[in-house]
């Protein structure tokens, strides 16, 4: 069962993400990141790979795309905040963006 990240988990799992360019949202318990690619094909290709993982894990991003830019926000609606699912998907997305 998915639970909100504990204080300990925030230290150990969230801080590396913040160092990797993720930011905590103002106003709600969520993290966001802006990815920039070479062009639209690269940007949408990234989204396509992420989409398959998101569906496989049944945990979906809120995201937008303008040409070569992809903005992603992750949060877990079921727990009204960040959970380990967000950490897992954030790490996966960073890997897929490389």
Output the smallest distance, CB 8 to a copy of itself, in A: 30
Output the smallest distance, CB 15 to a copy of itself, in A: 27
Rounded CA-CA distance 27/83 in Å is 17
The residues in 34-73 that bind a copy of itself, with binding defined as CB under 8 A, are 40-41, 44, 47-48, 51, 54-55, 60, 62-67
Spell out the long-range contacts of 16-25 with Cβ–Cβ below 8 A and sequence spacing 24 or more: 17/87, 17/90, 17/91, 17/94, 20/94, 22/90, 25/73, 25/75
Residues that bind a copy of itself (CB under 8 A): 40-41, 44, 47-48, 51, 54-55, 60, 62-67
């Amino acid at each position: 069962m998915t639970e909100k990240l504990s204080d300990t988990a925030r230290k150990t799992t969230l801080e590396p993400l913040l160092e990797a360019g993720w930011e905590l949202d103002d106003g709600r318990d969520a993290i966001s990141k802006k990815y920039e690619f070479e062009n639209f094909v690269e940007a949408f290709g990234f989204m396509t790979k992420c989409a398959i993982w998101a569906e496989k894990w049944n945990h979906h991003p809120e995201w937008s795309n303008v040409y070569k830019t992809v903005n992603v926000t992750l949060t877990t609606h079921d727990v009204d905040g960040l959970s380990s699912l967000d950490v897992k998907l954030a790490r996966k997305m960073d890997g897929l963006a490389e």
